[in-house]
Amino acid sequence: MPCALITGVTGQDGAYLSQLLLSKGYEVHGLVRRSSSADVVDARLVWLGIRDKVQLHDGNLTDLASIIRILQLVQPDEVYNLGAQSFVYSSWNQAFLTGSVTGLGATNMLEGVRNACPSARFYQASSSEMFGLAQQPQSESTPFYPRSPYAVAKLYAHWMTVNYRESFGLHTCCGILFNHESPLRGIEFVTRKITDAAARIKLGVQDRLRLGNLEARRDWGHSRDYVGAMWLMLQQPEPVDLVVATGVTRSVREFAELAFERVGLCAEEFIDIDPAFMRPADVDVLRGDATKAHNVLGWAPATTFEELVAEMVDADLERVKKHSHL
């Protein structure tokens, strides 16, 4: 039975990746930072019905000792580093924390693998935000131009992963994933904020939705599809860094319009533009070129943009009905 360790296991990608690996017969372990109640921490795993199948270990990406202890105990065949302070907007207000967790945290994981289980294959969750103002579409050869503390931290982690591969011969790779969403997306992210608001407004428990830049365009896919690419990357005989994307962009405005249409409402009647949600330095367009991933992995997204939005809205409708007893 292959064994995998996932950091960020209770996040959106960690939960879907756990589900995928379990379906393939893996023994799945996860690193968790116990900063809140177990019910909150484990909510996504519970939602997918796999909580009792994932073995959780208390640790922290900023604590190398805990990482080495867990790696020595688990001795994984594959390590997926998905943990991070991943909210771009907050990274300006928490730049040091973002650098420590998202950047140095990845280095701690790499150092842990090098010392505790050097034969393990290592996946680093890189981000399309590293491209920033780069020309588009963005591919593996596109120069990076990060525009936020989060993007800078991710870029540091990305290059450290490459460095450990080239310096120590570790099987490490980076998946440069473009935006990917799902019903498990955190409520602080704009997509879930929109679908949750559409559900709440439809059911009469919310009046308005406040958003920032409606014209920002992103390449949106489904997390469930993208974790499949993560797994495929670690199955390759030689490590390779790949862009994972749909190649199609939609604006925040289009996302909102589709979400509100799903509940029979007109988005523009309920949205207010709030300058407080504008980023100090924004990225107007991110669009990925996943040609190499298609060629190397045989991977392609299975979920359309319309299907993604509909699934998220429907899930939030059910959540709001259950919570509000409507």
Instruction: Please give the DSSP secondary-structure letter assigned to residue 288.
Output: B
- Gyration radius from the chain CA atoms: 19
Asked whether 41 and 34 are in contact (CB, 8 A), the reply is yes
Q: What DSSP line would sit under 18-85, residue for residue?
A: HHHHHHTT-EEEEEE--SS-HHHHTHHHHHTT-GGGEEEEE--TT-HHHHHHHHHHH--SEEEE--S-
Query: Is the dihedral angle over the CA atoms 287, 288, 291, 295 positive or is it negative?
Result: negative
CA distances from 322 to 43, 200, 203, 316, 326 (A): 15, 12, 11, 10, 7
- Residue 312 CB neighbour total at 10 angstroms: 26
Q: Write down the catalytic residue from 16, 80, 150, 164.
A: 150
Q: Is there a contact between 55 and 29 (Cβ–Cβ < 8 Å)?
A: yes
129 counts as catalytic: yes
Active-site residue, 150 included: yes
Q: What's the CA gap between 71 and 110, in Å, rounded?
A: 11
DSSP secondary structure letter of residue 144 = P
> Cis peptide leading into 137, omega within 30 of 0?
yes
Whether 211 and 273 have beta carbons less than 8 Å apart is answered as: yes
Cα–Cα distance, 219 to 226 (Å, whole number)? 12
Write down the catalytic residue from 66, 91, 127, 139: 127
Parallel, antiparallel, or unpaired for β 180-181 and 217-218? Answer: unpaired
Which one is catalytic: 129, 181, 257, 311? Answer: 129
- What is the four-CA torsion angle of 211, 216, 218, 223, rounded to 10 degrees? -10
Q: Which residues are annotated as catalytic?
A: 127, 129, 150
